[in-house]
């Protein structure tokens, strides 16, 4: 059979990579975002605003966070589908946070620890972890020990939870090899004390800052200033993508404020 795999994901789509591996093992041919006539078409959508195409079987958070393409969990991903030079997968899907702006709590992810060897291909020296909250995994140490034993470089897709970082976890992050910066997040003002404690311990990284959800612009700049003062780089994520939010996003993410004593002073000139 000829199988078409449709998605709006640019870099990779783990669900379709597993489906591709399953069908190739059955002797089928798989194609990514192709056109023409096929015996079966799967769709896996990440974003609700992206255009959708007719599919025989489909799922993903862009369609409905509760609809997943099940039945292929035991398959090792087909890394050739996207021509990747790194492994890709989850060692821990669950996140204990119930943030109302986040889609993860709606996905009903299991509290199940998985070894990197369930999806890692030894031919790669890099691995991309898709974990939603690594440090909430009771077996998080095992994940890092496996990474060290395999001498792997980590591609960091999601931010580490600063509220869970202590001295031990900070040392683990410092010992681990990362491609580029480590990522963290500061979404809620009420978490300030815990977040700052984590930032003081954590190795330098980029901190995602959600704006436009339930914070004022003054609170947004306050978070960015604190992040900058503690030696990290803020990275603004606009919730509504209004003109003003996108303006703040450009202002912060281009780092032009570094020429000024404070972000507030820089904002005055930028406007």
The 3-class secondary structure across 180-213, one letter per residue, is CCEEEEECCHHHHHHHHHHHHHCCCEEEEEEECC
Question: Tokens standing for 258?
Answer: 């570094």
For residue 239, the tally of other CB atoms under 10 A from its CB is 14
pLDDT of residue 49: 86
Residue 107 has a pLDDT of: 87
Quote the DSSP letter at residue 161: -
Last residue of a domain, one of 53, 77, 101: 77
Q: Which residues contact 240 (CB under 8 A, 6 or more apart)?
A: 212
- 173 and 265 fall within a common domain: yes
Judgement on whether residues 73 and 83 belong to the same structural domain of the protein: no
Shared-domain flag, residues 4 and 93:
no
* Percent helix, percent strand, percent coil in the chain, to nearest 5: 35, 20, 45
Same domain, 161 and 237: yes
pTM assigned to the model = 0.91
| Residue 32 phi, psi (nearest 5) | -105, 120
For residue 52, what are its two tokens? 């959708």
Give yes or no: residues 72 and 104 share one domain.
no
Count of structural domains within the chain: 2
Tally of helices (H runs) and strands (E runs) in the chain = 7, 11
Q: Are residues 131 and 250 in the same domain?
A: yes
Sheet holding 182-186, edge to edge: 182-186, 205-211, 233-238
Residues 135 and 220 in one domain: yes
Q: Which of 13, 45, 77 is the last residue of a domain?
A: 77
Residue range 120-157, pLDDT digits in tens? 999 999 999 999 999 999 999 999 999 999 999 999 87
List the structure tokens of 37: 């006539």
Final residue belonging to a domain, choices 42, 60, 77: 77
**Over its length of 271 residues, how does the chain's per-residue pLDDT go in tens digits?**
999 999 999 899 999 999 999 999 999 999 999 999 999 999 999 988 888 899 999 999 998 888 888 778 778 999 999 999 999 999 999 999 999 999 898 888 889 999 999 999 999 999 999 999 999 999 999 999 999 999 999 998 788 999 999 999 999 999 999 999 999 999 999 999 999 999 999 999 999 999 999 999 999 999 999 999 999 999 999 999 999 999 999 999 999 999 999 999 999 988 7
């Amino acid at each position: 059979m000829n199988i078409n795999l449709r998605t709006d994901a640019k870099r990779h789509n783990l669900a379709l990579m597993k489906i591709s591996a399953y069908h190739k093992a059955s002797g089928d041919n798989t194609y990514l975002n192709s056109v023409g006539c096929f015996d079966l078409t799967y769709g896996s959508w990440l974003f609700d605003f992206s255009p959708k195409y007719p599919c025989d079987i489909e799922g993903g958070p862009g369609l409905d966070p509760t609809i997943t393409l099940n039945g292929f969990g035991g398959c090792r991903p087909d890394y050739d589908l996207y021509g990747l030079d790194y492994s890709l997968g989850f060692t821990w899907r669950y996140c204990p946070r119930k943030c109302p702006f986040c889609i993860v709590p709606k996905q009903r992810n299991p509290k199940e620890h998985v070894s990197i060897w369930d999806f890692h291909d030894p031919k790669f020296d890099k691995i991309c972890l898709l974990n939603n909250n690594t440090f909430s995994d009771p077996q998080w140490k095992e994940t890092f020990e496996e990474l060290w034993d395999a001498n792997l470089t980590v591609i960091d897709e999601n931010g580490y939870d600063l509220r869970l970082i202590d001295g031990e976890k900070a040392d683990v992050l410092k010992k681990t090899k990362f491609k580029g910066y480590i990522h963290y997040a500061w979404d809620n003002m009420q978490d300030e004390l815990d977040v700052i404690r984590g930032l003081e311990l954590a190795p330098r990284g980029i901190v995602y800052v959600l704006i436009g959800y339930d914070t004022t612009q003054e609170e947004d700049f306050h978070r960015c200033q604190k992040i900058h003062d503690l030696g990290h780089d803020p990275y603004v994520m606009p919730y509504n993508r209004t003109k003003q939010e996108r303006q703040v996003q450009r202002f912060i993410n281009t780092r032009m404020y570094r020429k000024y004593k404070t972000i507030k002073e820089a904002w005055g000139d930028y406007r």
